[in-house]
Structure 1
């Protein structure tokens, strides 16, 4: 069994009692979860397209005719009255009130039962590097193994059982919004699921290869008896209507598990190995996750082995959950029909964090699913803009699954006043160009999307008497309404700036460019309050520092609009605002709520403000407060409450930025490296500007850095070590010596074709 312990992965000697602690794997379309014990294991099949229609009305109230009156009420009586007015009008128009999106749901539960009540030496593992799940134990003097993977090669789930006697059957869901019809064709289970409230549904095919099998009388399944390995092949096929339904046909050939796994492993492992972080030894890596976590909780500093595994878990999540679509709140996994917040695509911070490290982790193809999802939702985003504000262009919903229509709001949560979502989603379209230099993508995908967003702004923005624009209504995500929320302004700035730059890059001449530049010039400047902090709203609304969202710091953690040398006043004010948030929320035991996404944004801001102690504290809070499950998939709240992977997606980006970052013509090295991580290395990180970090090694004891980078284009970068300002650069490596050097520059020549 020892040879199955993964160096890059986790293993535990404790069975999983609940689905949140299951072993997980996926290929971007299918997901699988394995939980239970040798007596009764459960295999849960997931698919990225499975969202259960609830029968809710998807009619958006046409509030556009009431926008002028709403703005008048905001100006004269305030937002509370305006929100009340909007809600009453919406209800008159048939709006059913705040409605969750259709929930993400499991595709099937397959139960595997034995009589192995007396078992020993139990262990289960996830190999992040290969995508294999493995369970092993001893019973009756025999070793039993259960191996599972989701093929990256042929889009099916495979499960292999050691020889023995098993009862294998499919759970009947008995759900009032789902009709399940099953039949058995020799060694294959076919199950058809009809959605009650739509014409869609899905089919499940489960094929079992075994020496002997007999059909169970009272369940949909088989009694298995075999002296050789037993193979289970599973596939989920969703459809939107009966006309589009395609029945999965069983193959006529015998399946070789090893051959299928080898084909899968070649694809999965190549993706996983594109980057590599080394913080510890193989001896440390081979410990059980149970022991690693126990030891980490006793430390007063970061546990390098746990941090390395959490880093690997984040990239593993993304590889498993991206491709056909993009990770939802739960990645690609669920064991319940009632996940928190529907387990949907939540666009006011969560989706953005889940994909935060996609580009820097060199997992570019994963973003194809993200780009595809946004394009699928555009027709309904256009309807949102037209119905709520009478505007051309697009307005993103905050929650989406089967539809992108925005019907998730009420008086308490006026989320339809948050209009900057589409611009934030567009950030990754332009970033993809910055990382890759793909001008065809810039022309065909980025510019058309940015133009639609600007169309919305052209119709939505109003002018103040001084000619400056005003965002009204305006909402700082989940923290309150007031005109001119800082994030609204910051996102609009980024959209307009990127659109203008894209046209210049492609040598596009257009009268529109001068109009966009005029719009950019008329966006209101940020403001600083009496505390010296960047204001969250430019209106006179009182600041609420005790909150998990960091929306007004968008220019710091996301768009990188300014820094300490380009706009020192705004930078300092942002730093003050950040510290106020820390005092009132993150470091306050009486803070509003716990939130992994808030901690991740804290860490992303901390990398930009070069605050290594804070980065370390965020990592320690995740450990101290039990914010992850056995698989190292994270929870939204403390104490393993609500399975939620946005923290997994963001954590590798935090580590990348604390080690190596590129912004404003500077290559920033060890910008937020905690002192407790005295040495380590990382390979394969991508940076904007078509730069690849082939190798970075640091050793704080020897005061040395080794760095190898390449660039696809010729450029000059200034090397910046904010924590080691007296460093100097010899010809072949950076050595930290106590001799002052103000600027260290390198010239990158670009690739020769």
Structure 2
């Protein structure tokens, strides 16, 4: 009988993975691992967050600043098409090579494991989200075999255990024309060196194999193994920037403890992160069912499947724990099985990175968000070069695509992404939010303010005056929906940056003559406009609205900055709702819409939480399920039908669930603000909110019309209780007083 321990918090399947996208996945924020194939020919793919293959492209930004005035004249007199053409021609004259993808994310190694048997049955494979362990089990003639894998949070290595038996294992020879590979064995150490052709960098892969008997293979980099006890394989990827930085190891990595000892020390760390928040919608018996059965059943239902929703929620946090730490998740998290990933599998900053980290703070995963800050700090010098070379400005301008380089080369006439200048300000949103969640004033002073000041320096040099005295953003681009002066996201981000900088100085009681200047700049930003249909305009200029689009850039004040709500600015709020409805009609709910992108659906859902639209959120969850936007691991695809492995939706989905259950902005604690009626009861715990609030527990039962909230604040403050879906609820629109570190329990009758 198969004694495979099925995960309660996780997924399992009876079907082997035939492609890398459907693999079991795990990681620790530096290393990632993927397990796929069948027991006869299994594959382990090792990944590392630093592996981006240099392509040998030119890395010289053209000196375009001298052409800015002429470009602006053309925009004003002839329009953007002519201006973009002029700008592009000048760039090419200066040697610009055209739209260039960033260096692609690539796998570190493929390790193939061949068993001595051919027939097997009772196959199961699983991911335990709670511990990060992957498990494959099967039987051969009544004998059980098991393969277990995890990436250690303690030793920063990948471990794989095979049942006793006979195997061949070998590394794939990549034979890539941009990388040289050389392998050798030394006892039970298999060492492979990878040298990049177009840089001085590369990486080493070191495998240590613990087996009763092992013999090096003659024709491949690997071993023949035979062991009467379980076999342990330890794997490590060591990147380096230059050959002098290489750490060559010929001796064992260390004296390996047993798999169980290594796993125990790791799982304590992983479990601690995973259990900081918890969503309970179903029983353990429901959770133990195979993901294949759960998904098949969910497709037949007209309402949300609570068990699948809970697993989607857990999968999102699992992705983040695995992928964030040393850096932040890229488009594929920390996993790839190809040298040619979509959009290079890079860090894409015009929506994808932001969605992938959307739930990091509310899930109390501060270790991961530190990786985001580390990445931005590494890219800042090249962001400065972007600002200077393209616009002659001080400060910083973020590239839309980045990996080994933060220089902006991803643009041409069709995709004028170099005209999108608000990226750095959007990235800073997470810096100031970190302060709001933690109250860390040292971080505010040392990290947030310097970044904000550099962004404002760019605006000081970039913005021009209109005759009416307001600023004009020209050129301007609403990603990725077209060009026209004064894209609303440009204005909204600049407003948030200036407000945050002024507020930071006041929080820290810092005196500066610049505060008056920043307030003056803030007052010069153009006001939002409403078109003849009553919708918030996407551009504050004469440009026809295009509602059939996957990006929601102009609704930045709704889903991201929370600049206003229905009480502070009712006209803008209502206009934003009209604009959102038109986007839904033309794109999200339109079968003829321009794309099926998961990131567009996630931004739709984040807007829906703010507009208190539970039915729409339920529809979006259904779209993801019925259109096969998940792989077996519940990692997501960018398009329908499992097309393009892409995890930004995973990062955003827990935030959607947090916001639909409990949310905080404008001193208002919104409870069950967008809860679909089909989720009759449940409980969530550990969610963190801005202003140092923690929801220790939120329990709801719609049948009994009862809600109980247990809340703690690190600081003294007042908050308004708001239940927009339950107007007659007792305590609705009531203020509560919170004392520092004192738990308060609120019982509400709906």
Shorter-chain TM range is: over 0.9
Find 2:474's aligned residue among 472, 475, 486.
Answer: 472
Structure 1 residue 749 corresponds to structure 2 residue 750: no
- Residue 182 of structure 1 corresponds to which residue in structure 2? 183
Matched residue, 1:737: none
Q: Distance in 1 between matches of 2:260 and 2:460?
A: 58
Residue 141 of structure 1 and its aligned partner are, at CA, apart by: 2.1
Q: 1:320 aligned to 2:326?
A: no
Q: Deviations over 1:246-270 (max 9, x none)?
A: 1245235243111110110010000
Cα contact 2:208–2:253 (8 A) shared by 1? no
- Map of 1:697-712 to 2, 5 A cutoff? 697-712=699-714
Equivalent residue, structure 1, for 2:748: none
Return the offset for 1:465: 1.0
Partner in structure 1 of residue 455 of structure 2: 453
- Structure 1 Cα separation of the partners of residues 676 and 254 of structure 2: 57
Cα deviation for residue 725 of structure 1 reads 1.0
2:227 matched to which residue of 1? Answer: 226
State yes or no: 1:614 paired with 2:616: yes
Partner Cα distance (1:527, 1:605) in 2:
19
Which of these residues, 551, 559, 563, is aligned with residue 561 of structure 1?
563
1:376-418: per-residue Cα shift (whole Å, max 9, x none)? 0000000000000000000000000000000000000000000
Instruction: Please give the alpha-carbon distance, in whole angstroms, between the structure 2 residues aligned to 1:570 and 1:508.
Output: 33
- C-alpha distance in 1, partners of 2:301/2:421? 44
- Deviations along 1:541-573, one digit per CA (max 9) or x if unpaired, are 000000000000000000000000000000000
Give 1:186 deviation, angstroms. Answer: 1.0
Q: Trace 1:322-337 onto structure 2 (pairs within 5 A).
A: 322-337=324-339
Q: 2:747 matched to which residue of 1?
A: none
* 1:533 match: 535
Aligned partner (choices 644, 647, 651) of residue 645 of structure 1: 647
| Equivalent residue runs for 1:226-245 within 5 Å | 226-245=227-246
Q: What is residue 494 of structure 2 aligned with on the other side?
A: 492
Q: What corresponds to 1:732 in structure 2?
A: none
Shift of 1:207: 0.8
| 3-state SS of 1:133 partner | strand
| Alpha-carbon separation, structure 2, partners of 1:751 and 1:177 | 56
Q: Map of 1:586-605 to 2, 5 A cutoff?
A: 586-605=588-607
Cα pair 2:397 2:421 within 8 Å, conserved = yes
Q: Which residue of 2 aligns with 1:258?
A: 260
CA distance in 1, matches of 2:98, 2:497: 31
Distance of 1:581 and 1:251 partners within structure 2: 55
| Greater mean deviation of Cα atoms: 487-496 or 254-263 | 254-263
Residue deviations 1:53-79, cap 9 Å, x none? Answer: 000001111110000000000000000
Q: CA deviation at 1:467?
A: 1.1
Cα separation, 2, equivalents of 1:250 and 1:642: 38
CA distance in 1, matches of 2:518, 2:254: 61
Cα offset for 1:364? 1.0
Specify whether residues 615 and 254 from structure 1 end up closer, same or farther in structure 2 by C-alpha distance, changes over 3 A only. closer
State whether residues 52 and 403 of structure 2, in contact with CA within 8 Å, keep that contact through their aligned partners in structure 1.
yes
| More displaced stretch, 54-63 vs 252-261 | 252-261
Stretches of structure 2 lacking an aligned partner (at least 5 in a row):
744-750
Structure 2 counterpart of 1:660, from 641, 659, 662: 662
Within a 5 Å distance, the mapping from 1:544-559 to structure 2 comes to 544-559=546-561
Kindly provide the CA deviation profile for residues 607-629 of structure 1, in whole angstroms up to 9, marking residues without a partner as x: 00000000000000000100010
Distance between the aligned counterparts of 1:76 and 1:488, measured in 2?
22
Take 2:426 and 2:162, find their aligned partners in 1: how far apart are those partners? Answer: 46
Q: Which runs of 5+ in 1 are unaligned?
A: 730-740
Distance change (3 Å), C-alpha of 1:407 and 1:254? closer
Structure 1, residues 354-381: CA drift from partner, whole Å, max 9, x if none?
Answer: 0000000010111111001001000000
Q: How many residues align?
A: 741
Partner SS for 1:668: strand
Of 433, 436, 439, which residue of structure 1 is paired with 2:435? 433
CA distances 1:270-329 after superposition (whole Å, capped 9, x unpaired): 000000000111111000000000000000010000000000000000000000000000
Q: Within 2, Cα distance between the matches of 1:690 and 1:186? A: 54
- 1:51 is aligned to 2:41: no
Rounded to whole Å, the distance in 2 between the matches of 1:718 and 1:50 is 48
Paired residue for 2:115?
114
Match of 1:34 in 2: 35
Structure 2 counterpart of 1:420: 422
* Alignment partner, residue 91 of structure 1: 92
- Measure, in 2, the Cα distance between the counterparts of 1:2 and 1:659: 38
* Separation of aligned partners in 1, 2:650 and 2:252: 36
SS of 2:608's equivalent in the other structure is: helix
Partner of 1:736: none
Name the structure 1 match of 2:131.
Answer: 130
The alpha carbon displacement at 1:218 in A equals: 1.3
Rounded Cα–Cα distance in structure 1 between residues aligned with 2:727 and 2:355 = 31
* Structure 1 outlier segments of 4+, above 4 Å: none
Deviations 1:468-493 (A, max 9, x none): 00000000001000000000000000
Shift of 1:752: 7.4
Give me the whole-angstrom Cα distance separating, in 2, the residues matched to 1:5 and 1:696: 28
Distance, in Å, in 2 between the alignment partners of 1:665 and 1:255 is 52
SS at match of 1:581: helix
- 1:115 deviates by 2.9
Alignment of 1:159-178 (within 5 A): 159-178=160-179
**Which region of structure 1 is more displaced relative to structure 2, 107-116 or 373-382?**
107-116
Greater shift, 337-346 or 210-219, is seen at 210-219
Distance 1:16 1:467 in 2: 61
Quote the Cα distance in structure 2 between the aligned partners of 1:751 and 1:226.
56
**Match of 1:392?**
394
Match of residue 281 from structure 1 = 283
For the residues of structure 2 that align with 1:299 and 1:116, how far apart are their CA atoms? 41
1:337 offset after TM fit, Å? 0.1
